[in-house]
Structures are given as C-alpha cells and as structure tokens.
Amino acid sequence: MAGKLGFRILPSPPRIAAATIDRFRGAGSATIADAMGRFGFMDPAIESRTARGLCGVAITVRCRPGDNLMLHKALAVAAAGDIVVVDTCGNRTSAVFGELMGKTAVARRLGGLVVDGAIRDVEHLTSMGFPVFSRTVCPGGCDKDGPGEINIPISCGGVVVNAGDVVVGDRDGLAVVPSAHADEVAALVDEVVQRERARVAEIERGVIFRPDVDEWLRKRGVID
C-alpha cells in the first residue's frame, strides 16, 4: 500500500519482539519516563477517558483537521494489540473516534487509542472496556474525505511517535519508547524499579528521609 505524499499508507515496520513488549506491561508511565531521562512522556492534557491502561506497539495516523478517513483505515491496518496513535493537526472540535469505531476496534482486538484531539461517546467506550486517551471530548463529528497518512512519524502530545514504538498509558499519563531503544529502556526500567524498592525498604527500616538531600543542600550553601 502506498499513495502520494500527504495521502498515503506506508507498510508497518518490523515488529519488536513480543517478549520485549511484555517487559513494559505493568510498568508505570512515570517509571518509564524516569528511565528515559524524564523525557518521552506526552502532554498531561491527553487524559484517560475510559479509566483503562494500555501497552502495545504504535500504529500512527495523521488526519486532516475535521476528517477521520485514515483513522477508519488504520483500524483495518492495525494488528491485534496495537495502539492507534492519532495526530489531528491541532483540531479539538471534531471528534475522530466514538462508539461505532470503538466497536470496530474491540472486534479487531486492538490494544487502545491515543488521540491528540477529540473523541466522543465516552460512556459507550467506557462500557466496552476499550482504553482511550484524548486531549478533549467533543460532540462534533468528522468528514471522511482525507487526505491523511498512516505509519508516518507524527507528533502526539508533544512527543514524536513512530510506527512500531511502544506506548504505555495509565492514570499518570502516557510514555512512548522508541522501538530502536526498547530493550535498552526496558533494562533501565528494571533498574529504576529496583532502586525504588530499595528506597521503600529503607523507609520501612526507619530511614524516613533521604540522606542525600542534605548533601545536595550543603553543596549549594543552603545548610551547614
């Protein structure tokens, strides 16, 4: 599948190993962001609308403002478990996704949806148990004329998302792991988790305050 610049469907990239994706299941978006140097997290205005977390590989979509033709096609192109990530080019008044598309996504066993823009039919989507994150909610609908693109690099929530990247969402927000660094980040996530567990153990032993805080303050001349 192809097309012309601005109106095209690119092939999905080679998929990272399922075992690598599984290493991110259960990892918090905050932990993942910390592991990436406190980068790679989306604008907090993109919120969970159905109180469901998500974890999977991204298929990316860029829609013309007020149009969702390519998002409809992306639901067919995506594989089971994929996360459809949508750039609406700043539109907030035309919901690109709602109840009927949600039923399609559930039937396709997709892993979730992230929209830098609007969705609607939140109650129905919630009752389906389908994970959806969006910047806003609006009753306005969309045309289906195009243009648009699938599987290209997009901007979503201030983060560059490429097809094949790992997307993790929970109540804290969304983190995006570049596919080329997924194994590296997974190892760093493990290190962060171990450090946090060690700190919890310290607190439980009675070391309530971090001793290095006073060291930092002394270096800055705040305390003696």
The conformation of residue 13, written as its DSSP 8-state character, comes to P
Rounded Cα–Cα distance for residues 73 and 121 (Å): 20
Q: Which of 110, 120, 46, 48 lies closest to 79, judged by CA?
A: 110
What is the reported pLDDT for 99?
98
In the prediction, which pLDDT does 1 show?
60
Strands (DSSP E) contained in 68-127 are 83-87, 112-119
Q: In this predicted structure, what is the pLDDT of residue 31?
A: 98
* The pLDDT value given to residue 3: 83
Q: What is the mean pLDDT of each run of 10 residues along the chain (224 residues)?
A: 87 95 96 98 98 97 98 98 98 98 98 98 98 98 97 98 98 98 98 95 94 92 94
135 close to 142: Cβ distance less than 8 angstroms: no
- CA 34 to chain CA centroid, Å, is 15
- Report the CATH number of the 3-180 domain: 3.50.30.40
- The structure tokens 């909610």 sit at 137
The pLDDT of residue 106: 98
**Prediction pTM value:** 0.94
**Nearest CA to 32 among 165, 137, 203, 201?**
165
Establish whether the linkage from the previous residue to 139 is cis, with ω within 30° of 0.
no
Alpha-carbon distance of 80 to 93, in angstroms, equals: 29
pLDDT, residue 2, reads 66
> What is the C-alpha to C-alpha distance for residues 8 and 148, in angstroms, rounded to an integer?
7
Structural domain boundaries in the chain: 3-180
Structure tokens, 119: 């969705």
CA distance 77 to 84: 10
SS3 call for 200: helix
According to DSSP, residue 180 is labeled: G
**What residue has token string 């305390």?**
223
Pairwise CA distance, residues 116 & 137, whole Å: 11
